[in-house]
Structure 1
Amino acid sequence: MRWHKEKHLDEENVLKHTADSEAWKEFEKNYLWFSQEPRNIRLGLATDGFNQFGNMSTSYSMRPVILVPYNLPPWKCFKDPFMIMSLLIPGPQAPGKDIDVYLRPLIDELKDLWSDGVETFDTSTGKCFKMHAAVLWTINDFPAYGNLSGWSTKGYMACPTCNKDASSQKVRSKISYTGHRRYLEPSHSWRKSKKFDGKNEKRLKPKELSGDDVLGQLDLLSTYRPGCVSVDDGKISRLKSHDYHVLLQRVLPITLRGFVNKDVSLALIELGHFFQRLCCKTLRRDDLEQLERDIIIILCKLEMIFPSAFFDVMIHLAVHLPREAMYGGPVQYRWMYKIERFLCKRKRYVRNKARPEGSIAEGYIIDECLTFCSMYLTDIETRFNREHRNYDGSSSKGEDFLDIFSKSSRPYRDGIYDVIPKKDFDMARWYVLNNCEEAEPFLQEHKEELLKQIVVNIEDKHREQFPLWFKRKIQQLYNKEKLMSINKLFPLAIGPDVHGRTYTSCIVNGVRFHVQPRDELRKSQNCGIVVEGYHKNEVIEFYGIIVDILELEYVEENRVLLFKCKWFDLRKKKGMRKDNNFTSICVKRFWYEHDSFVLATQEKQVFYIDDPKLGGNWRIVLKFQDRHLYDVPEKENSEPERDELHITNDEVYQDISLENDSIVNDTVDILSQLHRDNVDSIILDANVIKLEAQTEHEVEIDHNEDDSDQEDDTMIEYVNDHEENEGNTSTNDDEFDSTCDGDDIGL
């Protein structure tokens, strides 16, 4: 619970934990008495309705209320064992606006924790202390936001950030939120363009409300009385919100390239990249400021493509998301995906359908008891001490061994023990020598000797003669000096055994890799890799696939794991093309066939997806980061805990950090491209009523409408209800440059 204070390293301009957020820091600045005790708990309150019978109907809805502590490190924060189900609001009807009645006991207890505190025993110190707690924010979807806050999330002022200054209008039976040019700089050329709505935009962006302004509105409020894919039909249905999250960020930008007009696809691709960059595990404040500017341009482009009815409040809210990330830190600690999965687990506790609330309550208590006990049962295997699925099975051997022998890797199953072919043996042995940091001085010394001899093809001679020269050199130094540094190099100089093991799968640094023939039999893909290397004295990224996994065995039980790869030809136009931040490669062209090995610990995993635009043998390269890896630096005086290594896959996919993607901001060209001169003008048969033309009586009636959220609060149902009420590697020079057009790799 003290990690955020004692171990967390605060990096300037970087957001990796909620402790880096503006809201956290401002809170600690305003309440010094609270921040002086690091064991005081910072909480998030989450709630969502669900149907425990496993269907999507609205006949029954219950609503758990969950508290999430944020003092914990990232690998524990927002995990099931540390979530607290404080309330279980019974069904069958959702509480709607009356949820405050059910929350009253919890609010009273939270107030006591804030003001008076509670005497708590600290097992690490063996002493008691007065513990206080504070709720930093709530976590909920947009319909539940209206219930918890009291602000109507429907109607003309549905955006709580824009508040009374929202730019909205009525189009037939729904409310449209356009006019995003007002968020542009006052001098921006698009403000004077009439290609949006036929008018100049002179309004400034809405004023951002302070906490006192919001509190004033709350005081005034009391005075008012108001199987998812169907190939035959070409439809995707029954997806969860996380599925749409992945579709928007990864799949949609790729598929649009080959089937939609370039200008339309560009705007949608930029929208997908915006959310991909916003949802990274590591955020930078300057990047978020750039995203805040980019989303305005993107929405303005969309306004020139889609009709006004497309821009409901959910589209408009994207304008405020970068600012919310600055306030609250990385989004993974505040989104609903984990809460929804937590509720799905509780749904499975229901055995007696006549008493679903009792079933969930009993199941939750049993789960809490087992969790508590298992943390103290060190002699038996529990989910807290068992090795994770992709455990690499090894650790650093210490200073007495070379780094190249102490890497974290674990071959899968026994493998095949056989004689290594001479060509592969020489190639693999040279690669290990050439990539061992401790052998670098000897490589340089041998090359200098060859230069003095004035030999032809010095690189070939160096590669051919160095292993034997290095072996003799180390033996001489070992017999003469017997230093520790020489002892470490002795196994490397002796060289590997001519016999070795080959595998079809292995785990390296917690990541699983397969050879390409094994991947052909599976729906998943684990054979794609990317490695940085030199090509014509320039560092580039080499993309390839793993065709074999070889383990070299050295004396003293030292081993080195290597990947034998086929590297795709990356020469422009022939083998690689770049378009809108997408990298496409031809999987039928190869190079560096005589330099095919790479250390298993040098690569990063990628996967290849069909390019719908280029077709044929072209694939798009998609980079990604494993969701169970955390790049969170800690203070040097702290030691990692054992259970910090516990890995789970029960997380939403995210990238680690932002890439330098940029949006097209050539305003003159964009306006001319997006203006559809080839389509006749259409007069919409709709009565468009602007907000400014509404009478005070009409606006008041809209705010007093009954927002009866009796459903499961899914976003699809919310949108439907909304519409009804208002009437969404290689490391050598290019000396072996060859292509093989005959081989075809199935990806």
Structure 2
Amino acid sequence: MRAPLMWTISDFPAYAMLYGWSIKGKFACPCCNYGTNSRYLKHSRKMCYTDHRVFLLMDHPWRSNKRSFNGKTEFRPPPAPLKGIDVLNSLCDFENVFGKKKKRSNDDPWKKRSIFFELPYWQYNLLRQNLDVMHIEKNIVDSILGTLLDISGKSKDHAKARYDLKDMGIRKNLHPQDTEDSKRTKFTKACFSMTNGEKSILCGVLKTTKIPDGSASNISREHEQEVNNQSQRSKWSKAKNHCQNFSQWFETRALREDVPDLIKQLTRGPNFVAKRYSGYLINGYRFHVRQRDARRKIQNSGVTLIASTTTFASSKDKNPIAADLTYYGGIVDIVKINYYSHFKVVLFKCDWYEVEKDVYGLTNVYFNKRCSQEEPFVLASQVHHCFYVQDPYDQDKHYVMKTVPRDLFNMGDEVESNLPQSYENEPSEHLKGPSIPKDNGDVLLTKTDLPETTIDVLVEEFVNQQLEVEY
């Protein structure tokens, strides 16, 4: 028996050992390789890897935004990834020397030739090494929380970072300012800084939030056409009639000979005995009923559904709009109905909530405001998973957080004929990205309702500077 090695999955330090590329210094990114954009921060004494906008589409608005980034526009193309054949050719005469005695040039990021290149197919593999996102996600979240809560030793907004901003010549309102006696330096609080009360609210939200546990056919068009033929009625009446009389029309229409047997089985209706579940796995998601979530520390009862429908402003609206509407709800019950062993269908009974969007574009729902109460059921195969985070100032208001299944991947319906090009030019859905202010004015980066941070000016002992909060 033989087994091929498709790729490796590891954290970033192990990436270097498996690939043979140094992850330290100015060429620390194995994907960008010699095109890595790096800069040494002399005050923080570390390398900084910037210019990530090169991976965006050329017409992306962020490429033209100066103030929100490094003060420059960015219209360079992304660096070309090294192909396996090129790597093997460049390392054909490379001699692996292991141990502490080995001396390596600072300009050469290669540490060794990977043993995996002895596999005859490895040089043609597009995805040879992959990163485990678990470690990356944890480190990023730790840094964000440490910065928001201003945790000593964890925050990325410290005195050294402010001096580096001054050297880079960006975000001038965050630069350190000397006091009148020139013996001390003041730092204005950043816009994301919080008071003690705001920190308590944030910690409370993080503590109490529950997160997830990791066929239309022509026959349907016939009824729609029959309803539309009632030309004397308004569009609102036609749509209402379509919903109320469909079942009776469907039973009569299914008696004709041109109807398939499967459709005729639907007219019989399901068995009166159905199975009920408190949880269900489908589409890579784990769903629970809301009652089960109430006694657990996780949340799996949130669902979202995109439905194509016709919307009316009122019963007198003569110009309805056909659009895709997104619904958000919570699962009340899960049932599996049996159509006499011909087929089975799983239904979710849900409470649907009214939806709003705030000034920041965030979607929120109100648990005390229901909608579509006459249509609580939905096919389990149609929904996606989401969870809700309660607003700390309004207990009925909850923000929607969408999730993606970790173990389910969309590989596409067709085989790509030009894989290297598609790999190097991955699409960027910039319309779904976070909001960035337009480059037409000053960006508010400071917070004035918090006291400034003051440090003693010790140029020769800068590394040992201690922060003091002046009240």
TM-score range, shorter chain: 0.5 to 0.7
Q: Which residue of 2 aligns with 1:168?
A: 40
Instruction: State yes or no: 1:583 paired with 2:363.
Output: yes
What is the distance in 1 between the residues matched to 2:394 and 2:413? 46
Q: CA deviation at 1:162?
A: 7.8
Cα displacement (A) at 1:503: 2.8
Distance 1:159 1:509 in 2: 37
User: For residues 305 and 335 of structure 2, what CA distance do their matches in structure 1 show?
Assistant: 17
| Offset at residue 437 of structure 1 (A) | 3.2
Alignment partner for residue 610 of structure 1, among 383, 390, 393?
390
Q: Is structure 2 residue 305 aligned with structure 1 residue 526? A: no
Does the Cα contact within 8 Å between 2:38 and 2:48 map onto a contact in 1?
no
Partners of 1:455 and 1:681 in 2: how far apart? Answer: 65
User: How far is 1:148 from its partner?
Assistant: 8.4
Is the helix fraction higher in 1 or 2?
1
Q: Check if 1:664 corresponds to 2:449.
A: no
- Give 3-state SS (helix, strand or coil) of 2:436's partner: coil
Cα offset, 1:500, TM superposition = 3.6
Gaps of 5+ in 2: 55-61, 96-102, 107-131, 158-164, 177-213, 313-320, 416-426, 465-471
Shift of residue 486 of structure 1? 3.0
Q: Output one character per residue of 1:250-291: Cα deviation in whole Å (capped at 9) or x when no partner.
A: 9958x96xx89xxxx9x9xxxxxxxxxxxxxxxxxxxxxxxx
Residues 634/682 of structure 1: CA separation in 2 closer, same or farther (3 Å cut): same
Q: Could you say which residue in structure 1 is the equivalent of 2:12? A: 141
Give the whole-Å Cα distance in 1 for the aligned partners of 2:246 and 2:63.
67
**Equivalent residues in 2 for 1:687-698, closer than 5 Å:** 687=459
**RMSD of aligned alpha carbons:** 5.7
Q: Give per-residue Cα distances to partners, 1:578-616, cap 9 Å, x unaligned.
A: 35453222222211111212111111111112345x552
2:351 matched to 1:553?
no
Deviation at 1:688, TM superposition (A): 7.3
- Deviations along 1:600-658, one digit per CA (max 9) or x if unpaired, are 1111111112345x55222221112111112113668xxxxxxxxxxxxxxxxxxx996
Higher RCO (CA 8 Å, separation ≥ 6 residues): 1
Tell me which of 374, 399, 402 is aligned to 1:620. 399
Q: Deviations over 1:359-404 (max 9, x none)?
A: xxxxxxxxxxxxxxxxxxxxxxxxxxxxxxx9xxxxxxxxxxxx5x
Contact 2:287 2:300 in 1 (8 A): yes
Q: Pick from 421, 438, 443: which aligns with 2:223?
A: 443
Residue matched to 2:253: 473
Matching of residues 449-468 of structure 1 within 5 Å: 450-451=230-231, 457-468=237-248
User: 2:382 aligns to what SS in structure 1?
Assistant: coil
Does the residue aligned with 1:69 lie in a helix, a strand or coil?
A: coil
Q: Structure 1: any 5+ residue segments left out of the alignment?
A: 1-38, 42-67, 71-76, 80-138, 225-239, 268-295, 308-389, 391-402, 404-435, 571-575, 637-655, 691-722, 725-747
Q: Return the letter of the residue paired with 1:685.
A: V
- Select which of 445, 450, 459 maps to 1:674: 445
Q: Percent identity?
A: 18
Preserved contact between residue 513 and residue 526 of structure 1 (Cα < 8 Å): yes
Amino acid in structure 1 at the alignment position of 2:137: H
2:65–2:72: 8 Å Cα contact kept in structure 1? no
Alignment of 1:42-61 (within 5 A): none
Q: Secondary structure at the match of 2:331?
A: strand
Residues 1:153 and 2:24 aligned together: yes
Q: Deviations over 1:178-235 (max 9, x none)?
A: 69699999998669x9xx9xxx999x99x989989x98xx99x6689xxxxxxxxxxx
Q: 1:190 to 1:518 in 2, by over 3 A?
A: closer
Partner of 2:278: 504
Q: Note the alpha carbon deviations across 1:669-714, whole angstroms, 9 max, x for none.
A: 344x226788769676343799xxxxxxxxxxxxxxxxxxxxxxxx
Letter in 2 for 1:557: H
User: 1 or 2, which has the higher strand percentage?
Assistant: 2
Change (3 A) 1:147 1:516: closer
The alignment partner of 1:606 has SS state of strand
Contact between 1:584 and 1:611, CA under 8 Å: does it hold in 2?
A: no
SS of equivalent residue, structure 2 residue 223: helix
1:12-51 matched pairs, under 5 angstroms: none
Relative distance call for 1:605 and 1:630 in structure 2 (3 A) is same
Tell me which amino acid in the other structure corresponds to 1:664. I
For residue 128 of structure 1, what is the aligned residue in structure 2? Answer: none
In structure 2, the residue corresponding to 1:609 is in which secondary structure?
strand
User: Structure 2 CA distance, aligned partners of 1:182 and 1:561?
Assistant: 45
TM-score (normalised: structure 2):
0.53
Where does 1:222-301 land on structure 2 (aligned, <5 Å)? 242=134, 245-246=137-138, 248=140
Q: 1:30 aligns to what?
A: none
Whether 1:513 and 2:384 are equivalent positions in the alignment is no
**Are residues 241 and 587 of structure 1, via their aligned partners in 2, closer, same or farther at CA, if it must alter by over 3 Å?**
same
Residue 492 (structure 1) aligns with? 266
The residue matched to 2:253 in structure 1 has which SS? helix
Query: In the aligned structure 1, how far is the partner of 2:64 from the partner of 2:232?
Result: 67
